[in-house]
Amino acid sequence: MKRTVLVTGATGYIGSHTCVCLLEAGWQVIGIDNLCNSSPQVIARIEHITGSSLPFYQSDVRDYAALCALLQRHAVTAVIHFAGLKAVGESVSQPLDYFDNNVGGSITLLRALQSRNIKNLIFSSSATVYGEPQTVPITETAPLSVTNPYGRSKLMIEQVLTDLAQSDPQWRIATLRYFNPAGAHESGLLGEDPRGTPNNLMPYIAQVAIGRRTHLSIYGDDYPTADGTGVRDYIHVMDLARGHLAALRRLLAHDGAHANTNTVSHNGCFTVNLGTGHGVSVLQAVRAFEQASGRHIAVRFAARRPGDVASCYASPAAALQLLDWQAEKNLQQMCEDQWRWQSANPQGFDSSATSLSPTDMTE
Ligand SMILES: NC(=O)c1ccc[n+]([C@@H]2O[C@H](COP(=O)([O-])OP(=O)(O)OC[C@H]3O[C@@H](n4cnc5c(N)ncnc54)[C@H](O)[C@@H]3O)[C@@H](O)[C@H]2O)c1
pLDDT at 351 over 70: yes
Least confident of 21-35, 245-259, 271-285, 338-352: 245-259
pLDDT band, very low/low/confident/very high, at 259 (cuts 50, 70, 90) = very low
Q: Closest Cα partner for 82 from 13, 159, 181?
A: 13
pLDDT in tens, 170-199: 999 999 999 999 999 999 999 999 999 999
Q: How far is the CA of 15 from the centre of ligand 1 (A)?
A: 8
Residue 1's pLDDT is 75
Q: How far is the CA of 13 from the centre of ligand 1 (A)?
A: 7
pLDDT at 267 over 90: no
- Tell me how far CA of residue 294 lies from CA of 192, 210, 212, in angstroms: 20, 11, 16
pLDDT at 93 over 50: yes
Ligand 1 atom closest to Cα of residue 16: 16
Label residue 328 exposed, middle or buried (CB < 10 Å: 0-12, 13-18, 19+): exposed
Mean pLDDT of 83-95: 96
Pocket lined around ligand 1, Cβ cut-off 6 Å = 8-9, 11-15, 33-38, 60-62, 82-86, 101, 105, 124, 126, 178, 181, 200
Q: Whose CA is nearest to atom 32 of ligand 1?
A: 60
pLDDT band, very low/low/confident/very high, at 115 (cuts 50, 70, 90) = very high
- % of the chain at pLDDT higher than 90: 89
Distance of CA 14 to the CA centre of its chain: 4
CATH code for the domain of 93: 3.40.50.720
Residue 263's pLDDT is 54
Mean pLDDT of 73-79: 98
Q: How far is the CA of 261 from the centre of ligand 1 (A)?
A: 31
pLDDT in tens, 209-249: 999 999 999 999 999 999 999 999 999 999 999 999 999 99
Which of 150, 223, 234, 313 does the annotation list as catalytic? 150
pLDDT band, very low/low/confident/very high, at 350 (cuts 50, 70, 90) = confident
- 209 contacts 294 by C-beta, under 8 angstroms: no
List Cβ neighbours of 240 (8 Å cut-off, separation of 6 or more): 14, 17, 18, 178, 181, 274
Residue 357's pLDDT is 43
DSSP code string of 136-172: SSBPTTSPP--SSHHHHHHHHHHHHHHHHHHH-TT-E
Give how many domains the chain has, as a whole number: 1
Write out the H or E segment, with its range, that includes residue 121: strand 120-126
Other residues' Cβ atoms within 10 Å of the Cβ of residue 263: 11
Verify whether residue 64 is a known catalytic residue: no
Q: Whose CA is nearest to atom 36 of ligand 1?
A: 37
CA distance 363 to 346: 25
CA distance 67 to 159: 23
Q: Closest Cα partner for 277 from 334, 227, 326, 223?
A: 326
CA distance 31 to 186: 22
Average pLDDT, the chain: 93
pLDDT band, very low/low/confident/very high, at 257 (cuts 50, 70, 90) = very low
Least confident of 106-115, 251-260, 261-270, 336-345: 251-260
Q: How far is the CA of 52 from the centre of ligand 1 (A)?
A: 23
pLDDT at 66 over 50: yes
Q: Whose CA is nearest to atom 21 of ligand 1?
A: 12
Largest Cα–Cα distance in the chain? 57
Pick the more confident residue, 108 or 305.
108
Range of the domain at 336: 4-362
pLDDT band, very low/low/confident/very high, at 332 (cuts 50, 70, 90) = very high
CA distance 206 to 216: 10
Other residues' Cβ atoms within 10 Å of the Cβ of residue 1: 5
Mean pLDDT of 301-316: 94
List Cβ neighbours of 48 (8 Å cut-off, separation of 6 or more): 189, 356, 361, 362
CA distance 259 to 169: 12
